[in-house]
Amino acid sequence: MKAPGHIIFLGAPGVGKGTQAKIIAQRLLLPHVSTGDMLRASVTSGSEVGRRAHAVMESGALVGDDIILGIIAERLAHNDASGGVIFDGFPRTLVQAEGLDRLLDSAGKLGIKHVLHIVLADEEIISRLSGRRVCEKCGAIYHVNFHPSIREGLCDRCGGELRQRDDDRPEVLRRRLAVYKSETAPLVSYYLSKPGYAEIEGSGDTAAVSARIAAILGLEG
Ligand code: AP5
Ligand code: MG
């Protein structure tokens, strides 16, 4: 990446945003900012935000823009965000995209350098999400067939227990996909006309998708 700036991972549930955002965050030594992970942490801690978000997330709908923009404004104020962050699952509505532009639109703040839109067919999304397992301790992402842990049910990295996410149940999954199409897909036309937008084919294994992303970011290999 030639000049610093924020990177946005855009795409439907299950396309691999989290998997790829973690890899890029490690390579570029930038913070991985996943609103989904932050909300799940708030639910676990029982905070006010968590109490407000819990039922909404379980239903597959989107948490309110005001809550999300509040979380992001707070996160961007941390020192470690000054060189850019990797956004995963944010923004997700036009109100959030415009809110982010306002947050970044002041002197001395970095802008958005890349918007990486990962695309994948619905059947593949469903097969990826129905087999996903997540470490309850460190958040590492696995798949029972495509990326199994060495010891069944246990995280390779920290030994934590692997769980299925509550919102990966089939009925919630269908709602999340529908919500993506109605609320988040319109963001593609918002970013299409701006510099840095790229569509990435999400099929193939994790390494193949990472290589496509690395090529767009100008990274070696
Ligand atoms: P969030 O946590 O953001 O979920 P999501 O967008 O629905 O996306 P996922 O995390 O399900 O999928 P992913 O693209 O990260 O895929 P992953 O890498 O895990 O949001 C959850 C909820 O929080 C929302 O529904 C909403 O309620 C709320 N929320 C969050 N942000 C919000 C916002 N900004 N505004 C309002 N509400 C918000 O991969 C999936 C599986 O596939 C894994 O098992 C993985 O191992 C496997 N896999 C990945 N890549 C490959 C590959 N190349 N080949 C084979 N398998 C692969
Ligand atoms: Mg994710």
* Domain limits, the chain: 6-120+184-217
State whether CATH 3.40.50.11810 applies to domain 6-120+184-217. Answer: no
Q: Count H helices, E strands: the chain?
A: 9, 8
- Section 92-117 average pLDDT: 92
Ligand 1 mean position, distance from CA 15 (Å)? 7
Question: What is the full DSSP assignment across 37-67?
Answer: HHHHHHHHHT-HHHHHHHHHHHHT-PPPHHH
17 in active site: yes
Angstrom distance (rounded) from CA 216 to CA 129: 26
Q: How confident is the model at residue 106 (pLDDT cuts 50, 70, 90)?
A: confident
Looking at 128, 133, 176, 212, which residue is catalytic?
176
pLDDT score of 221: 63
Pocket around ligand 1 at a 6 A CB cut-off: 11, 13-19, 35-36, 39, 56-57, 60, 62-63, 68, 89-90, 92, 96, 128-129, 131-132, 141-143, 146-147, 167, 176, 204-206, 209
Angstrom distance (rounded) from CA 187 to CA 181: 10
Q: How confident is the model at residue 1 (pLDDT cuts 50, 70, 90)?
A: low
pTM: 0.96
pLDDT score of 62: 98
Angstrom distance (rounded) from CA 219 to CA 26: 13
Ligand 2 mean position, distance from CA 126 (Å)? 14
